[in-house]
Amino acid sequence: MSFPITRPRRLRRNALMRSFIQETRLSPKNFVYPLFVCPGSGVKHEISSMPGNYHFSIDRVGEECREVAGLGIPAVLLFGIPEAKDETGSGAYGESSIVAQAVRAIRKVVGDDLLIICDVCLCEYTSHGHCGVIKEGAVDNDPTLELLARASVSYAQAGADIVAPSDMMDGRVRAIREALDSHSLTDTAILAYSAKYASVFYGPFREAADSAPQFGDRRSYQMDPSNQREALREIALDVEEGADIVMVKPALPYLDIINRARQEFDVPLAAYQVSGEFSMIMAAARLGWMDRERAMIESLTSIRRAGADVILTYFAKDAARLLGC
């Protein structure tokens, strides 16, 4: 029926009514908080392009994780900054890798009260800044798979719950799954960065992780921002290879991809609100152009509304405080 019998504003007349019929619910349980671990001791150094986010030394990251768990956020995602870099990114794998050390340190503080996810890539660890082994000026896919698998095993053996390959090499999910299973790590889950676009929105992260490529770019392995159908194919391949959770990255410029993935695949779906999305809102808020809290919640709600079950976001702590545990 039409107006005056039908009046949609009846259900918007006050905050209690709006909450009562709210279609999309946002909760701290939806969030994953990314963290950067670095060498040294006593380090908590703010990242200039990402206000409120820090580099933590291993002796400080545990206390940060205790706070995260106390806010009702169920998981953190770890990125490592090694002491030294080389051509093959050897700092990414082995018992002494900075991420493996961080996993063990966090476990001592929070026990099993927090899920630990480890990003699996080589870009932070290679002297050239690319996500794999270089051969004749280009990333060589197949030799890179073995290194990604080694890193995944070392993180899982240290106590990680989930490994998250972000490299966009073909076949890496299968290689990691086989390596984990062969080491009796069958309970370790894989969160695949399945549709990861070659995006300008990674800029602040490159500073945070010191991972900018020293030559060329990453368009030969990350996805063309113009493509939608290709994203669905990438997700399907990762599911077939054994991914337990799939992800779209970035989030806000790719809400259509998140929504299509939600419609097409019956697996847990994550989306990464990346550094550029975070910093863009923070910069506008600092200039007084928008309300930071409203922009934060509106952006996160849009990602959830599009279909994401899990949102990786640098706003996780602030949003959790605002939403309540």
Domain count, the chain: 1
* pLDDT given at position 325: 55
In sequence order, the β-bridge partners of residue 245 are 191
Catalytic position from the list 85, 135, 249, 317: 249
The secondary structure of 15-77 as a DSSP string is HHHHHHT-S----GGGEEEEEEEESSSS-EEE-TTSTT-EEEEHHHHHHHHHHHHHTT--EEE
- Considering the entire predicted model, what is its pTM? 0.96
Domain assignment present for residue 17? The answer is: no
- Residues sharing a CB contact under 8 Å with residue 13, sequence separation 6 or more, in sequence order: none
Domain assignment present for residue 242? The answer is: yes
Catalytic position from the list 44, 85, 196, 317: 196
Per-residue pLDDT in tens (0 to 9) along the chain, 325 residues = 799 999 999 999 999 999 999 999 999 999 999 999 999 999 999 999 999 999 999 999 999 999 999 999 999 999 999 999 999 999 999 889 999 999 999 999 999 999 999 999 999 999 898 989 999 889 999 999 999 999 999 999 999 999 999 999 999 999 999 999 999 999 999 999 999 999 999 989 888 877 788 877 888 899 999 999 999 999 999 999 999 999 999 999 999 999 999 999 999 999 999 999 999 999 999 999 999 999 999 999 999 999 999 999 999 999 999 998 5
* pLDDT given at position 316: 98
In whole angstroms, give the CA distance from residue 193 to residue 272: 9
Quote the DSSP letter at residue 195: E
* pLDDT given at position 212: 81
Sign of CA dihedral 221, 224, 230, 233: positive
Domain assignment present for residue 9? The answer is: no
| 249 is known as an active-site residue | yes
Structural domain span for residue 44:
25-323
- Residues sharing a CB contact under 8 Å with residue 161, sequence separation 6 or more, in sequence order: 75, 115, 116, 117, 188, 189
Look up the CATH number of the domain holding residue 123.
3.20.20.70
Domain assignment present for residue 201? The answer is: yes
Domain assignment present for residue 4? The answer is: no
Count of alpha carbons within 13 angstroms of residue 188, beta-carbon side: 29
In whole angstroms, give the CA distance from residue 67 to residue 69: 5
Domain assignment present for residue 31? The answer is: yes
